[in-house]
Structure 1
Amino acid sequence: MVANDLMVSGAVRESRLILPRVSRTFALGVKLLPPRLEPPVRVGYLLCRIADTVEDDLRLSPRRKADLLDDFLVCFDDAGAADRYGAVIAELTASDDYLELVATTGHVFLMWRMLDERSRAILRRWVVEMVRGMRQFVLDHPDGIRIASLDEFHHYCYFVAGTVGHLLTELWHAHSPLVGNRTYERLLEDCEAFGEALQTVNILKDIAWDAERENAIYIPSDLLKAAGSDHDGILREERRHANRDALIPLMHLAHDDIERSLRYIEAIPAAAVRIRLFCVLPILFAIATMRELEQTEAMLVPGGSVKIARAEVRALIVAASTSTLTNPTLRWLADRVRKKPFVFGGP
């Protein structure tokens, strides 16, 4: 019993150390959650990131990725399989931080098994849904993901991000007395948009990175074709104007999903301030990133990227802690960020 307690405490410590190394923003948000919600949200995120690391690896063949994703799902029922899964790092080309995360798969599943029954069921349902979707996309695109249409784009974003919106919403309902049945039903209307907004913004800002480092192009080929370009020309200078035009429908989609995300947050009772703050920070960062995306072509330049300044990130963290307390102040801050960078001491 003592050894088991030591193993669990070690797994918890490892997960808290690795989380900021694979996502500083998410690690910050998790710390803001109520104590009952922090463990299942942390574990859920790490499970998703392990699967995503396998999906993104450039060395693995599509068939091998599919097999490893199948093996990952077996870990929900087989603790021994979970403990052995970390050996897959010998096959991966990920960064050291992500390799370390995959190496701790057994510990992450140990933490999952230590959660309450309802949390385990929620995480299992939505992580399985995500991984099965990832698996299908890997097999459907054996030469690297190339999204063909806006419908396929929606389909992809649902599996990798809309599922996360559902996972979080079910956890709010399960563990916060402030999120009752009526609020839960309201949140379900926009929970997929909450997750997918962040995914669409990430796709837009990381076009060059995804094409060059991940062999993946998520901009639908039909949008590129309509603008006079194609996947092969996504980073060509002579097609940059056409490629920029092809992004307009996705930018509209991102704005629509951000608006629905704000409605999602507004539906969370003001008294659940820690949940609201967890949700609002990534949306504010997404709004700021969209503001920058609309003024640049850097995401279409080889090696290019679009990021908001660290000073604005710090300022938004501070401002959000008070501006999320009411819906009017939330809207004020969102509108302010849309117009210009939000930094202390600025105009």
Structure 2
Amino acid sequence: MISQPPTLDDAQYQDEILKGVSRTFALTIPQLPEMLRHVIGNAYLLCRITDTIEDDNALTTKQTRYLSDMFSEVVCGHVAAERFVDELYPLLSDHTIPAEHDLIKHTPAVIRVTHSFNPVQRKALERCVRIMSRGMADYQETETLDGLKDLPAMNLYCYYVAGVVGEMLTELFCDYSPEINRNKSELMKLSVSFGQGLQMTNILKDIWDDRKRGACWLPQDIFLKKGIVLRELQSGHSKPGFQEGLAELIGVAKKHLCNALIYTCLIPPQEKGIRRFCLWALGMAILTLRKINRHRDFHDGQQVKITRRTVKTTVLTTSIFAGNDWVLNQLFKIISQQLPDTAISDELFYRR
């Protein structure tokens, strides 16, 4: 299927809607080199459309699977974006925020931009959306308050939601820079761990918010060892065993974020824009983990959300030292030193 070339209005819409659907990425994406800014902004919107399909609770499991598969075909150029909009848009509920309603409505504009990229970029985006769509649909079908079976099941969920995004970003970084590409094998090995560290932080922060909508992404095995049955959890009644299980997962997330720092330091120091993009996300995640660790009895995500002042401090500090690996490693050690460590084997933290 031949798609129309993007217009200036399409590019402008992409920049504007990004601010509406994500304050964090609207902050970090502009830090990237111009050649990457456009494609990674588009990639985020594609992932957000995928996420919207999965999150709208008005859709049946069958509809979610069907529309997720259709969107993958849209991204690949096999199905018209207009047809996708005609089928999904009328089904969206008030659960989907107005900005996401608007994004779905303007899917053709986003896709015209997608189809303007070079073959390597398009392949990376197509692969990411395909894996994410199928994986998230699989997990949605088993979404309950029982939690996931075990840590490997949580790892797989994190891969579908965020690890595959790490792989996609690495492909785009390597396509952009021959110097970055020289470290591709090491970067790809670490990219899934980077994504999982960010996603695990979100899962831990959103435990109680997720439960309100009938979902739990925590691993049963870790909590059963502490005498905790996840289905029986009640907000505001945090038992010692639950806090111990939480500490174990904080240690796992910390290790993943340590890998995220190694990943960032493999990016050439002169690529400060890419480093800032990585460091701001990493910095906010590790500070959120620290807050969760201090308040393991929290019962609302707002209680462990970092302040705007903390975000500004993170942005300023990491920007100043973006090119200095020694300082970055020292900062990470200082900030994370009070977080629990994990006894899980290192080999489980790397892409195989």
- Normalised TM-score (structure 2): 0.88
1:134–1:160 CA contact under 8 A, matched in 2: yes
Using the alignment, how far apart are the partners of 2:238 and 2:206 within structure 1?
A: 18
Using the alignment, how far apart are the partners of 2:165 and 2:116 within structure 1?
A: 21
The C-alpha deviation readout for 1:139-178, integer Å capped at 9, x for no partner, is 3x16578312111101101111110110000101001233
The aligned residue for residue 132 of structure 1 is 134
1:178–1:271 CA contact under 8 A, matched in 2: no
Superposed CA RMSD in Å reads 2.1
Give the C-alpha shift of residue 108 in structure 1. Answer: 1.1
Question: 4+ runs of 1 displaced by more than 6 Å?
Answer: none
The aligned residue for residue 65 of structure 1 is 64
Unaligned runs of at least 5 residues, structure 2: 339-352
Structure 2 residue matching 1:76: 3-state secondary structure:
helix
The aligned residue for residue 320 of structure 1 is 318
1:83–1:107 CA contact under 8 A, matched in 2: no
The aligned residue for residue 346 of structure 2 is none
Using the alignment, how far apart are the partners of 1:317 and 1:308 within structure 2?
A: 13
The aligned residue for residue 310 of structure 1 is 308
Kindly tell me the number of residue pairs found equivalent between the two proteins. 332
Alpha carbons of structure 1 residues 50 and 145: separation in structure 2 relative to 1, 3 Å: farther
1:54–1:68 CA contact under 8 A, matched in 2: yes
User: Is 1:217 the counterpart of 2:237 in the alignment?
Assistant: no
Q: What does 1:85-234 correspond to in 2, within 5 Å?
A: 85-87=84-86, 88-92=88-92, 93-139=95-141, 141=142, 146-181=147-182, 183-212=183-212, 214-234=213-233
Structure 1 residue matching 2:242: 3-state secondary structure:
helix
The C-alpha deviation readout for 1:63-84, integer Å capped at 9, x for no partner, is 1111110111120244763123
Identity among equivalent pairs (%) = 29
Unaligned runs of at least 5 residues, structure 1: 341-347
Using the alignment, how far apart are the partners of 2:225 and 2:58 within structure 1?
A: 33
1:55–1:65 CA contact under 8 A, matched in 2: yes
Give the C-alpha shift of residue 258 in structure 1. Answer: 0.7
Give the C-alpha shift of residue 125 in structure 1. Answer: 1.5
Using the alignment, how far apart are the partners of 2:121 and 2:301 within structure 1?
A: 41
The aligned residue for residue 285 of structure 1 is 284
Bigger shift: 214-223 or 309-318? 214-223
Using the alignment, how far apart are the partners of 1:249 and 1:10 within structure 2?
A: 48
Using the alignment, how far apart are the partners of 1:302 and 1:122 within structure 2?
A: 36
The C-alpha deviation readout for 1:252-285, integer Å capped at 9, x for no partner, is 1101101111111111111111111111110000
Give the C-alpha shift of residue 302 in structure 1. Answer: 5.4
Using the alignment, how far apart are the partners of 1:86 and 1:337 within structure 2?
A: 45
Using the alignment, how far apart are the partners of 1:306 and 1:136 within structure 2?
A: 30
